[in-house]
Structure 1
Amino acid sequence: VMERTENGENQVKVYKKRWCILTVVSLYGILLCIDFSCFGQINNVLAKLFDIQPWQVDWLNLVAPVVYIVMAIPISAVISFVQFRQLTIIYLAIFTVGLILVLLGVSITRGFPCAIIGQVCIGFSALFNFAGIPLTASIWFPSNEVALAVAVQLLSRGFGQVVGSTVSPYLVHVNQSVEQNRLHMMMFFGALASAAFLLTVFGFVFVENRPPSTASFAQQNVTDPISSFTVKGALKEFKEILTNRTVAPVLLAGCMCYVVIVFYTVLLSSILHKSFPSTRNINTLSGRLVMLAWALSTISSLVAGPIIIKTRAYKLLLLINVFGMVLSCACVLLFFIFQNIFLLYIGMAALGLFDGFVVTSVLELLAEVIYPKPMTHVTQLFLSGTAIMQLVYITVNRAILTNVGAIEANILTFAFILLLITKTSYARTEMNESNESANL
């Protein structure tokens, strides 16, 4: 398929292979998020399986944020010297190794350290992949399909979160013996590792650095990042972004809001077990609620873009959805006070709807604020920020849950989100403004 210039001359081509490549990276996103979302709902079962404490199980989710915080900038430098095919094969191969190590970990009683190392590998894989999301779209797809390519990759991640949080409570539960649960976890991670291995082989065979001719006119003038990248230049750009008076509140809002849904993905089952120790099927209920939140978050993130573009009410939409996050957290708190399950369903559904919208709004705002600096800097900053907040939310609230109570473990998260609707500057600078910047 060819694009044409105004004179009718063929200048760029698009190739059917782009859909194969998009399929590979999207399937990877599904497998990755199945892994990330499967542990929290079965925390108590895994604690018995590994013969460890519940707070230690949390680190199957927390090692990845540690990797993001420590390695985001070094890996961004490495990525600048790696071409698309190499990058794809690297994160697929590391992911496969990580899943094999987790599989080995769940197969033995004292296999928790092996599983942790596997999750570290998966964290590295995810970090490399975050750079691949915009590259897949920009290198292989024409300008009118870039948004679609990005949306499909994000949709695959949401689908993976839904599958992981739903399936794991049905595979393993407290009514089965430890050995039965171990066998089911081995089957689960065996299937994930096998699928990841096949994706790696497929990627090695079919993925190329770029199409024979560029997929869009913009790509014809792209500067080679390998020749233009310097560590000093990158650090200078990060410093300029972080010292921008507009970036901090917007970045903070996005990180604090996004991590709420991750917090409940990891800890909701434990919180419910603490409040209702004699209730059966808590893990299944938790998985269903987390599935609902991620499904609605995925849908809202997809519809947020067109709404933002049409209304251009950037600050208003962000504030409305942050306020919605406050209400959703309040509903969850009220559930523990009145013990009405309807409130919990309402709270988790609202959490998913507003969370997806907030994240999309924040990324759009940041992209405009830092223009014309690279969009990859936005994803790196957002990834590091969410990693820090994830560590704070989960480790602090796990300690509160263990030593104080379930209601109190929800209050800190509610208080953090409540701070975001105080008088805060959520400004957006129009990148095409020629005179003074316009805050919308």
Structure 2
Amino acid sequence: MVVPPESNNLLEKITETEIRTYKKRWVILIIYNLYSAANSFQWLEYSIITNIVMKFYDVDSLDVDWTSIIYMAIYPFIVIPVSYIIEKKGLRIAALIGGLGTALAAAVKVFSIRTDLFYVVLIGQAIGSTAQVFVLCIPTKIAAVWFEDSEASTACALGVLGTQAGLALAFLIPPILVKNSENVVSIGSDLRVLCQGLAIFMIPVSIAILFFFPRQPPLPPSVTQKQARKVKSKTFNEFLVSFKAAITQNAFIYHLIAYGINIGVFVSVGTLQNQLILQYFPNGEEDAGRMACISVICGIVGALLNGIFLDKTRLFRETTLFNYALTTVSVVLFMVTLLWKKLVLVYLSYAIFGCFVNCYLTVGFELAVEITYPLDESTSSGLLNASTQAFGVFIVLMLGKLNEKFGALWSLFSQVILLLIGTYLTYRIPNVKKRQEAFSQVETEMHSIRSS
């Protein structure tokens, strides 16, 4: 939680030993990225091989779409109590529930490899989606609790890295491991390898969470965190007031809707990508997975560069608008290259799409913190993710219906319209610099204190 500086009360003379950054902050970030990657992997592991899953379990495409939709449908209903738990109990509880819940979801699906056990898949996905709420709410909080102010944007970008890596691997690995075969026994064997592999991966990660992931470092990394530790934890009613304070700001409402549209479009296109690509490239399951993986890798690189850029320039609104506009352009390029049926160009256009969406993902978190300062980071990130999931459910269902009736091009054109609306809303966001002004005041007064 970050608190606005108040000169007389908050800035007593602080010795160097009262504020410190620890090397362990990088271990915390790595552990978080490992279990967040495993969680996001499960989000799309079935939808990228929709046609194969349909064949094995004898279900239709909408049933398979629900393995992804359920990740989005649960989130908005529990994000407020989960955000309160995270603020009151801290990062360790969030890691235990999010990480061990992810491990449990993977373990349950090991027992789903039978043609009549699709409901077990959905149970596993429901567990994973519940754990996901504890996963997605904390990158900005890890950045605040463990990293100094000058590292915050870079740390936040690195914190989203695990989610992006998990999505990339979800696009890449299932099409490689699970082959399209007329023999359902062979498909079942491949699915078993996929599920067991993830469950085994989560064993050492779960151990790391249990033994190496504390609530917070012994000493705070910044003045704002030092003061945050002195603030008495809120009651649930007081916590609800902070949510109200966020959603009554026009700037945040614009950003909330725009963010939900942008990431909702990305998740929806990723969910239905197998179906979209196969319309133009039959037997292109592995191509669909590879191009999505490449797009996320490009996004990871772009997000890291954005984080470094923001730490140096603090141009949050401008960078957000830039990434949003180019996301819109990239979907148009994806449509055109599909129409041309040039596979190399489809790879390129989808890579551009993934790059700018994933850049926007991290920049959007930081802009939200900037707009809602001094509210807790988990409040703004929780609301952004709730918007993403709510829009995601709607857009996936809409995109699926449009794809069935009109095909890939018209369904993608609907996404361009949505992104144009989001671009306009982002343009309407005023250039708010609440957190930057607070940090500047802290630095000025600290310099004055040390000089006296």
Report the TM-score, using the length of structure 2 for normalisation: 0.85
**Displacement of 1:137:** 3.8
Q: Which residue of 2 aligns with 1:438?
A: none
- Structure possessing the higher relative contact order (Cα contacts under 8 Å, 6 or more residues apart): 2
Q: Which of 19, 25, 38 is matched with 2:32 structurally?
A: 25
**Displacement of 1:348:** 0.7
**Displacement of 1:318:** 3.4
Q: Give the paired residue count.
A: 425
Q: Distance in 2 between matches of 1:341 and 1:405?
A: 18
Q: Which of 377, 380, 387 is matched with 1:378 structurally?
A: 380
Structure 2 unaligned spans of 5+:
1-11, 439-452
Q: Which residue of 1 aligns with 2:342?
A: 340
Higher mean displacement: 261-270 or 44-53 = 261-270
Q: Which residue of 1 aligns with 2:173?
A: 167
Cα RMSD (Å) of the superposition? 2.7
Q: Which residue of 2 aligns with 1:66?
A: 73
Say whether residues 1:247 and 2:252 are aligned partners. yes
Q: Which of 258, 265, 274 is matched with 2:263 structurally?
A: 258
Say whether residues 1:391 and 2:397 are aligned partners. no
Say whether residues 1:197 and 2:200 are aligned partners. no
Q: Which residue of 2 aligns with 1:182?
A: 188
Query: What amino acid is aligned across from residue 32 of structure 2 in structure 1?
Result: V
Q: Which of 299, 303, 312 is matched with 2:301 structurally?
A: 299
Q: 1:177 to 1:301 in 2, by over 3 A?
A: same
Answer whether contact 2:154 2:311 (CA < 8 A) is retained: no
Q: 1:221 to 1:166 in 2, by over 3 A?
A: same
Q: 1:412 to 1:125 in 2, by over 3 A?
A: same
Percent same amino acid at aligned positions? Answer: 21
Q: Which residue of 1 aligns with 2:240?
A: 235
**Displacement of 1:67:** 1.3
Report the TM-score, using the length of structure 1 for normalisation: 0.87
Structure 1 unaligned spans of 5+:
435-440
Answer whether contact 1:173 1:283 (CA < 8 A) is retained: no
Query: What amino acid is aligned across from residue 370 of structure 1 in structure 2?
Result: T
**Displacement of 1:115:** 1.0
Answer whether contact 1:257 1:322 (CA < 8 A) is retained: yes
Q: Distance in 1 between matches of 2:318 and 2:144?
A: 30
Q: 1:245 to 1:153 in 2, by over 3 A?
A: closer
Answer whether contact 1:93 1:197 (CA < 8 A) is retained: no
**Displacement of 1:11:** 3.1
Q: Which of 197, 205, 208 is matched with 2:214 structurally?
A: 208
Q: Distance in 2 between matches of 1:256 and 1:267?
A: 16
Runs of 4+ residues over 6 Å off in structure 1: 5-8
Q: Which residue of 1 aligns with 2:47?
A: 40
Answer whether contact 1:29 1:153 (CA < 8 A) is retained: no
Q: Which residue of 2 aligns with 1:358?
A: 360
Q: 1:160 to 1:144 in 2, by over 3 A?
A: same
Q: 1:175 to 1:370 in 2, by over 3 A?
A: same
Q: 1:73 to 1:308 in 2, by over 3 A?
A: same
* Deviation by residue 1:66-98 (Cα, 9 ceiling, x = unmatched): 111111112223334424333322222211211
Partner of 1:427: helix, strand, or coil? coil
Q: Which of 98, 101, 105 is matched with 2:108 structurally?
A: 101
Higher mean displacement: 16-25 or 370-379 = 16-25
Q: Which residue of 2 aligns with 1:118?
A: 124
Q: 1:43 to 1:201 in 2, by over 3 A?
A: same
Q: Which residue of 1 aligns with 2:433?
A: 430
Query: What amino acid is aligned across from residue 98 of structure 1 in structure 2?
Result: A
Q: 1:268 to 1:52 in 2, by over 3 A?
A: same
Q: Distance in 2 between matches of 1:16 and 1:246?
A: 36
Higher mean displacement: 74-83 or 252-261 = 74-83
**Displacement of 1:274:** 3.3
Query: What amino acid is aligned across from residue 426 of structure 1 in structure 2?
Result: I
* Deviation by residue 1:289-324 (Cα, 9 ceiling, x = unmatched): 101211111111111133345555554443333221
Q: 1:237 to 1:415 in 2, by over 3 A?
A: same
Q: 1:306 to 1:145 in 2, by over 3 A?
A: closer
Q: 1:369 to 1:132 in 2, by over 3 A?
A: closer
Q: Which residue of 2 aligns with 1:437?
A: none
* Deviation by residue 1:223-253 (Cα, 9 ceiling, x = unmatched): 467x431222222222232221222222222
